[in-house]
A and B are shown apart, each in its own frame.
Chain A
Amino acid sequence: MHARIGIAVVAAALVAGCGGGEPPPPPGAGYDWNLPAGFPVPEVPADNPMSAVKVELGRRLFYDTRLSGNQTFSCASCHRQELAFTDGRARGLGSTGMLHPRGPQQIANLAWFGAFTWANSVVPSLEIQALVPMTGSDPVELGISGMEGLVAARLALDPEYPRLFRASFPEAADPFTYPNIAKAIAAFERTLISGNSPYDRYQRGDATALSAPARRGMELFFSDRVGCARCHSGFAFTDAASAPGAPGNPFPFHNVGLYDEDGRGAYPPGGTGLEALTFRPEDMGRFRTPPLRNVAVTAPYMHDGSVATLSEVIDIFAAGGRVRMQTGVPSPIQSPLLRPFAVTDAEKADLVAFLEALTDEVFLRDPRFSDPFAPR
């Protein structure tokens, strides 16, 4: 297996080495994205152009337990491909056993996102986001903070990495840096594109791809009465993502009325959403709209995993929020986009059928996204 990767790397390096003197191509345009129909070419930061070898490096780093302080965890420990890169837990568990206040996010179609993690308005790129789980101390996830030198030294001892780093960052005198680790992981993450669900095949003209209940659920989903698409909008089913140049929602954070601890809309500590960052009372309980592709395999739901099933999620939104469902009174600060609607059991089943038709089985098993260290 090592030999096979080695050959691929040499070939990629050769290709990259040709064409000297010509201006570099736009960072996202020259890469073979293998995009599903209807998906725009993503924008890529100018200082982190895509390349096949960098994506391969990022994939290895994503799955490498040496990238945690105690060598027990990788990114993939909490982001498992078969669960659309979630882990099935209500709240994540870090490499040192620290319980995360929130659940691991799904990872798909991030190349078009303008906001990352559950609620953060000041981390604008995957390159910066990748540092949060690596070096964060509250909570400790990969637990590298305080061990940066040691971890880099570990990677440098690997027979493959020095070559992969040099080929991925040919301009750098010393490519073995933390920014470059983050850049490679970001490049890999940008390739995690999911657009081959039954819904996508239906959109591309395969009328048989969606069942009759799923088609009815789709109508409801996009209807004004049910209104899911007010926030779960666009090709990624979230207002946090948009096509390059297209007007996106610059502030895709919403309070959906899950908690009201104090009569003023407070969420429990550790899950106060954007408020934890901005300290603004109006940001209490505001979270980024989660994308919905593969949502059927990412239970439990909400930032704290407090809702077990999609059916219960629909109940909450139909009631105009969980606070309103439980007390009859909505949270005073919940989003005005949240409007209660009547829904029959049959309609609910149709909505669930539609959400289940967003599962992209190809994505969940795509060998390009799988663990390169796994025995074959």
Chain B
Amino acid sequence: MNRIQTAALVAATMLSAACGGTSNDPQPVTIDFKALVGNQAFSCADTAGYTIGTGTLPWIPKDFRFYVSNVRLVDANGGEAPVTLDSSFWQGYGVALLDFENGTGNCTGGTLEMNKAVQGTVAPGTYVGLKFDVGVPTASNHLNYQAANPPLSNSAMYWSWTSGYKFVKVDGLINRATPFTFNFHLGSTGCTLATPGDFSTASCTTLNVPAASFASFNASTQAVALDIAVLFASTNFDTADGGGAPGCMSGATDPECAPIFPKLGLPFGATPPGTQTAFRLVTK
């Protein structure tokens, strides 16, 4: 019911904008997200896992969460209107946490609650496209999460050793001879504080913030999907970890990152960035 309501709101927004409505009040907007494995919906209940990547061993769900920020709608002239995110358990600091795990199956580190939409307001207008970043902007990425408000108060998403956040946490269990957790943790690296102890002076050499851009987007009929069959298309879960962190945890030389980063449009070492393909638009 909630979904129908919000979809109706978006439709109303577009309608009033299209009719040259007189109100200059910000209009509500809801952008639905989906977690996909190919064309199948991701679910922690699928404890047999998904056969994805170049190998044969299934990837069994353990976690699927990510942050988005800098959400903008784009008008026909390419003008960008920032979406002001509503304040909620899932949104704050200009950041929204999308959460597709529900704590069941092997997703034992998760929570029952899920969040599958970004909600906010945008200046009145007619919009045809969508842009957003994946992750947390540097200005908010380094703080004491214990004193932070949601969604940056999430301990599972906090990357303690960098005092920052995991932008994407998509973890799977691989039942090799010795069960192996293939972590995929994306986050900013090469970070320093210009003034020791002062998080507001943080800067990072490697932001690792993917950008998604869709020239044609209809919020009332379409959703944004993160497809892990694409994200891990070049990954072989059969083979032993080649070094660095177990899986890819954004280490500068972690061999497991090289096949994954280009799928998000990120460069990795000598691997050029390319275009992100892991996020795509799907029918709701």
Contact between chains at A47 and B147 (CB < 8 Å): yes
Q: Are A122 and B142 in contact (CB under 8 A)?
A: yes
B1 to chain A, nearest CB (A): 29
CA distance A123 to B161 in the complex (A): 7
Q: Is the beta-carbon distance between B163 and A278 smaller than 8 angstroms?
A: no
User: How many Å from the CB of B107 to the closest CB on chain A?
Assistant: 8
User: Does A31 belong to the interface (CB within 8 Å)?
Assistant: no
Most chain A beta-carbon contacts within 10 A, residue among B108, B146, B249 = B146
Q: Is the CB of A122 within 8 A of B185?
A: no
Contact: B196 with A279, CB < 8 Å? no
By beta carbon, the residue of chain A nearest B103 is A149
The minimal Cβ–Cβ distance linking B114 to chain A, given in whole angstroms, is 14
Stretch among A134-142, A229-237, A292-300 lining the B interface: A134-142
CB proximity to A under 8 Å, residues B177-234: 181, 183, 185, 189-193, 195-197, 199, 202, 205-206
Asked if A309 is an interface residue, CB under 8 A from chain B, the answer is: no
A160 interface residue per 8 A CB criterion: no
Q: A123-B161, A136-B161, A146-B181 are in contact. Are A279 and B189 (CB under 8 A)?
A: yes
Binds A, one of B22-30, B80-88, B152-160: B152-160
In contact, A114 and B109 (Cβ under 8 angstroms): no
With a 10 A CB-CB cut-off, give which of B103, B145, B192, B245 has the most chain A CB atoms: B192
Point out the residue from A47, A124, A129 that lies within 8 Å of B197, measured CB to CB.
Answer: A124
> Is there contact, CB below 8 Å, between A123 and B163?
yes
Q: Which residue of B lies closest to A131 (CB)?
A: B160
Q: Are A124 and B163 in contact (CB under 8 A)?
A: yes
Q: Is A179 an interface residue (CB 8 A)?
A: yes
Contacts of B195 in A (CB 8 A): 250
Taking the complex as formed, is B252 at the interface, i.e. its CB lies under 8 A from any CB of chain A? yes
User: How distant is the Cα of A243 from the Cα of B177 in the complex, in angstroms?
Assistant: 52
| Alpha-carbon separation in the docked complex, A145 to B158 (Å) | 10
Q: Which residue of B lies closest to A177 (CB)?
A: B155
Q: B245 touches which one: A123, A138, A148 (CB < 8 A)? A: A138
Check if A222 is an interface residue, CB within 8 A of chain B.
no
A interface residue count range (under 10 / 10 to 19 / 20 to 34 / 35 or more): 35 or more
Chain B residues within 8 Å of A150, by CB: 108
User: Does B162 sit at the interface, judged by CB under 8 A?
Assistant: yes
Residues of A within 8 A of B205 (CB): 278-280
In the complex, A277→B160 CA distance in Å? Answer: 12
B185 near A137 with CB under 8 A, answer yes
Bound CA span A136–B206, Å: 20
B245 touches A137 (CB 8 A): yes
Decide yes or no whether B34 CB sits under 8 A from chain A: no
- Check A341 for interface membership: any CB of B closer than 8 A: no
Contact for B246 among A47, A138, A279, CB less than 8 A = A138
| CB–CB B196/A147 < 8 A | no
| Chain B residue nearest to A97 in the complex (CB) | B178
Q: From known contacts A146-B109, A279-B189, infer whether A128 and B144 are also in contact, taking CB-CB under 8 Å.
A: yes
Partner of A149, one of B108, B160, B185, B251: B108
Contacts of B155 in A (CB 8 A): 131, 135, 148, 178-179
How far apart are the CA atoms of A279 and B269 in the complex, in Å?
Answer: 12
CA distance A129 to B160 in the complex (A): 7
CB <8 Å contact, B158 and A131: yes
Q: How far is the CA of A128 from the CA of B183 in the complex (A)?
A: 22
* A-chain residues with CB within 8 Å of residue B49 when the two chains form the complex: none
Task: Please pick, from A132, A183, A278, the residue contacting B160 in the complex, using a CB distance under 8 A.
Answer: A132
- A251→B163 CA distance, assembly (Å): 17
User: How many angstroms between the C-alpha atoms of A281 and B80 in the bound complex?
Assistant: 39
Q: Is B129 interfacial (CB 8 A cutoff)?
A: no
Query: Among the listed B160, B162, B197, B206, which residue makes an inter-chain contact with A135, where contact means beta carbons less than 8 Å apart?
Result: B160
* Residue in A114, A120, A146 with the greatest tally of chain B CB atoms within 10 Å: A146
B62, B144, B161: most-surrounded residue (chain A CB, <10 A): B161
Contact of A114 with B161 in the complex, beta carbons under 8 Å? no
A83 sits at the interface (CB 8 A): no
Query: B53 → chain A, closest Cβ, in Å?
Result: 20
In the bound complex, CA of A277 to CA of B110 (Å): 27
Contacts of B103 in A (CB 8 A): 149
> Within 8 Å CB of B246, what residues of A?
137-138
User: Which residues on B sit within 8 Å (CB–CB) of A269?
Assistant: 243, 253
* 19 A-B interface contacts by CB (under 8 A): A114-B196, A114-B197, A121-B192, A122-B142, A122-B162, A127-B146, A128-B144, A128-B145, A128-B160, A131-B158, A137-B249, A145-B156, A146-B63, A149-B109, A179-B146, A179-B153, A277-B189, A277-B190, A280-B205
